[in-house]
Amino acid sequence: MADFSSSASPAQGPLVSWSRWLGWFAPGPCPSCAAPGRAPLCAACRTGSGIIDGSLPAVAVLENDVRLLYLGFYWRPSASNARRREPTPLAQALHRFKFGGDRYAGHCLARLFAEALSNSAAAPGRAGAKRYDAVVPIPLSRAGLAARRFNQSAWLARPLARRARIPYRPGWLQRHGDSEAQHGLRAAARRTNMHHAFRAGLLPQRPGLVLLVDDVCTTGSTLAAAARVLCDGGAVAVGAAVLILAEANPMGDRR
């Protein structure tokens, strides 16, 4: 796999990514395996990530009646050891973007996500027969945003909203500063951590039908907590779309 990390730091600004941004129009390489001309993700990496026909399958409804759509999976069985599992190419591309600051990978993932949602049976911009009224990314805490300098969920949500012609409303949901990052926490701790993580932002009187966007769904507790705040604020219903599903049954730990 090619190493993009040398051009990856967000502190280096957008200039280092010009060649890759040009590749965006060329098209550029696959952001995961670097196969030339295969942006936004090559066929082998799509297959290896469990992406089906470029559309987003629905999974079980989460807490608060949130219907979840996802593009691909986080884990796949290891080719060398059947008892181990390894991140899919999609997860590896997300890591480069999220933790390495690889903006080219971020653009590829955002494009892949927007195309998939508009190809999906649930899209463009539809929940059942109704149209979503707003796309809302899961916000980072102020400290999290200061550390990363970008919100990966917003990177996914904004192009999707533009493509589906749904208003993009990142200000509707805010995160309390003291909610920790979720990765590394066990399921029960995630739910506790998320319980008071969000508050309503500049919500209109009738928010309508809202589509939440996040990069990864593990237990579903983040999306459920965000949906609760939006429903308490008057949303008719909330749907969710994520790039990657980390567990086959996100609410399976509720038993």
Which residue ranges make up the site for Zn ion (CB under 5 A)? 30, 32-33, 35, 42, 45
Give CA–CA dist 113/19, Å, rounded. Answer: 22
Of 12 and 78, which CB lies nearer to Zn ion in the complex structure? 78
Least separation in angstroms between CB 35 and Zn ion:
5
Least separation in angstroms between CB 30 and Zn ion:
3
Work out the number of other CB atoms within 10 angstroms of the CB of residue 241.
28
Of 49 and 64, which CB lies nearer to Zn ion in the complex structure? 49
Of 76 and 131, which CB lies nearer to Zn ion in the complex structure? 76
Least separation in angstroms between CB 139 and Zn ion:
31
Least separation in angstroms between CB 87 and Zn ion:
13
